[in-house]
Structure 1
Amino acid sequence: MRTAPFARFEWMIAWRYLRAKRAEGGVSVMTWISLVGITLAVFALIATLAVRTGFREEFVDTILGANAHVSLYSAQYMTESGAMSRDIVEFEEMTDRVAQVPGVIRAAPLIKGQVMASAQGNTSGVEVFGIRPDDLMTIPRVADPQESWGDIDRFGAEGVPGIAIGSGVSRELQATVGDVVQLISPNGVKTAFGTSPRVSNYEIVYVFTAGRYDIDRTRVYMPFTEAQTYFNQEGVADEIEVMVEAPERVDALAPSLLSAAGDQILAWTWRDASGAFLRALDIEDNVMFVILSVLVLIAAMNIISGLIMLVKNKGRDIGILRTIGLTEGAILRVFFICGAMTGLIGTVLGVILGCAFAIWIDPIFSAINYFSGGQAWDPSIRGIYALPAKLQLADVLSAVALSLGLSFIVTIFPARRAARMSPVEALRYE
C-alpha cells in the first residue's frame, strides 16, 4: 500500500524498535554506545571550536590593545659626524602628517630601550617605552586594563619623574605604587674615559595588567621628554607608533602611511610581528577540525553496527510487514528513523554540553586548575592568563551539520538492506 513518506505508523514502528526488549539487549547497548559516542564527539568539536575562536580573539585583542598597529622607523643613514643612525629627527612633522591619513586613529613618537630595573634588592630586565602622557591615555589595554593600581593622571605630571609599569614587573621587583625603581642603562653619560652607565631613580605612579604575560612582565612607560634625556636621544625619536581604525586591513593602509611619512621610512605592522604565530594558529585550527570530524565519523559509524543488529533481529518482523503491504520505501524510512533519531538526540545533547562548557569555562577551568595544583595553565608559555572561549553561531551550526549529515548518511546503508530483504527469505524458516 502506498502511504505518505514518514507517516505516523512508521514513527510508531521505529519507536517500538528503539525500545529494545531484554532479549535484544545487544541492540540496546549498541544504541547507547552510538548515542554517547556522538554526544561526546559533538561536545568535543564545539568546545574546541569555541576555545579556538576565544584564544585567537583574545590573543589578537591583546596585541592590538597594547601595541602599535603599525610602527614607522627610519632606514639606516649616515650622520654628519659619520656615524650610522636610525633616529627620526623631524618626528613632530612626520607625526602630524601620518595622523592626517584617513583611517589613522592616532600617531605618536616613541623612544624605546632595554634597561635593568632594580628595587627592594630585586632586579629584572625591562623594556622602556618613552611616550607622551596624552598618547599613553589612548592605549586601550593600559588606560583601561584588566586591573590597575595608582593614578595614571600622575604619569608625566610636572615635578614627578614617575613611570608606569606592568603588573609582572611589579611582581618581579616586589615594588608597587609609591615605591622607587632604579633604572640602569649601559648607554649613559659620555665622558673622556668612555661611556658610563646611567642610573636614575623613578617613582612608580601606575601599575597595569594588560592581559598579556610578556607585556606585563617587561613593559615600562616613561614620559617622552624624560626618555629622550635618559637614552641620550634629545631632539629625536626612535619610531612613530600608529593605531588605525581597521587593524585587520592594516596592510592596505601601509602604502598611504609610508607616503605621508616621507622617504627612507619603513613600516612594520602587527601582522608582520605576529604573522607566523597567526598562521600557525590557522594550520592548527584546520588540523583540529579534521581530527575531530573523524571522531564524529567514528561515532556515527557505530549507528551502522546497531542498525545491522536490529535488522538481523527484526528479519521476521520485516517479512510480516512486507507481506501485509508495506513498501520498500516504508521499511527503509522505519530503519532510517531508528538511526537518525540516535544521531539527532546525540547531536542535541552534544550541543548542550558544548555550549555549557563554553559559557561556564571559567569555573570549570578554575576547578581543573585547583585539582591539578595550579599547573594546568602557565601564562609564561601561553601568553595569556586564562583559557578563553567564545561561542559563535557558525561554529555550532557547522558541528550540527557535520554530525547530522554523517549520521543520516551512514544510516541509509543498513536501512536499504532492510528494505531490500525478501519477505519469502525472511519467513522461510518461521
Structure 2
Amino acid sequence: MNGYFDGIAPLKFDPNSSELAFRHYDPDEIVLGKRMEDHLRFAVAYWHSFAWEGGDPFGGRTFDRPWFSDSMEAAKAKADAAFQLFEILNAPYFCWHDADIRPEGATFAESRKNFEAIIDLFEEKMATSRTKLLWGTANMFSHRRFMSGASTNPDPDVYAWSAATVKLCLDATHRLGGENYVLWGGREGYETLLNTDMGQELDHMGRFLSMVVDYKHKIGFKGQILVEPKPQEPSKHQYDYDVATVYGFLKRFGLENEVKMNIEQGHAILAGHSFEHELALARELGILGSIDMNRNDYQSGWDTDQFPNNVPEVALAYYEILKAGGFTQGGTNFDAKIRRQSLDPVDLVAAHAGGMDTCARGLKAAAKMLEDGVLEDMRKERYSGWQTPEAQSMLGADLVTVAARVEAEGINPQPRSGRQEILENIVNRYV
C-alpha cells in the first residue's frame, strides 16, 4: 500500500507561506527561556486521528481509510500511516488506547497477542523516529462488557478483566518509554441509582487505582499516573466528575501524592467550568499533570472534540499552566477529531497544523502576560489588606477574638471594585 499521506511534505515554520505550513508554531522559538516545542509538548491522539470512522450520534462511518478492518494487516497499515503523519508534523509525541492499535480477539489472550505484536512494531518504528510516547491508556468503555463500568462493574469478572488490561497497557507504556499513564473512567458511574450501590463502586474504584499505583512502583515506571475527569457522557453521572471531585476521591484513598490530572478542555465545559478554572484548581492542589486540548461546539450539548481555534481561550489555559511552572512529564495531547465531512488526508494534517498554531499563539500571549506581570500585580493589590499583622493574626484566632476586634476597632468595611472589565481589557491587548 502506498503511504496514506503521500504527496504532503513535512510542515515547516513559514509565516508567509502560501502552502500548508506553520505560521505561528516555531519549535525553536524561545519563550520564557525554553524552546516552544519543550513548552507545548504536542501529542497526536491515535484514536481520533486513525481509529475514528467519522460517525456521530445520528449517523455512521463517513471516512474511507484503507486500514478500516479488524485484521492485523490493517492494524500494521494504520501504524504506517500514523508514523507518516508524525513525520509530516514533526510531532514530539503520540498517545494511544489499546483498542485503537490492535484488533479485538475472541479471548483476552488473543487480544493480548495482537496488542503485543503492535507494541513490537511501535518499538521498531520509534527506534528511527523522533516521536515518543506521551501516554498510553486502556479503552474500558467501548466494548459491551464495560456497559456497567470497569473497576466499578457489579460483575467481579469484569473487574478482573479490567485489571489485566491495565497491567498489559501499563507494561507496554513502560516498555515504550511513555512519560505518563492515563485512566479515564468512561463508564465508571451510573445510569440510575435504582440498581447502583454507589459506596461499593467507589470503594472498588479506589482499590483498583491503588493497585495501579502499587504496580507502577513495582515495575519501576517513572511516569505520572493521571486521571482524566469528565462529568457525564456516556454515563448519566461519572464518579470522576471534575478536578475537585477527583481530588476528594484521591484524598479519601490516600493517593493525592501519587496521582495527578489529565484535564480536557471539552470535559471542563461539560462540567460547567471553564478550562482555566480546572487548570487553576489542579495547580493550587498540586495535581496538574497534562492536558487534552480540544474544544466543544457551544451550540451542541455534547463533547464534539474539535481542534482548538480560539486563541483567547487557549491563552488563558496556558497562563495557568505557566503559573504552575509548565509541563514536566505532561504535554498537549490533541484529543480532537476532524469533522465527519472532512474526508481527505490533507484535512487531518491541516487540522493539526491549525491547532498547533493556535496553541503557539496562546502560549506566547500567556507568556507575555505573565512576564509583564500586570494581572498578577492587580491580583496582589486586591488581596494586599491580608498582608497586615492584624489580618494575619485573624487566621490563627478564634471566632470570639475576631468578633471582638470588629467592635473594638469600629471596623466598617466598604466595598472595593473587582475591576473585572479592566482586567478583561488587559487580556484582550495580548490576544
Q: Structures share a fold, TM > 0.5? A: no
**As a proportion of its length, which structure holds more strand?**
1
Greater Rg, structure 1 or structure 2? Answer: 1
Give TM-score scaled by structure 1 length: 0.23
Higher relative contact order (CA 8 A, sep 6+): 1
**As a proportion of its length, which structure holds more helix?**
1
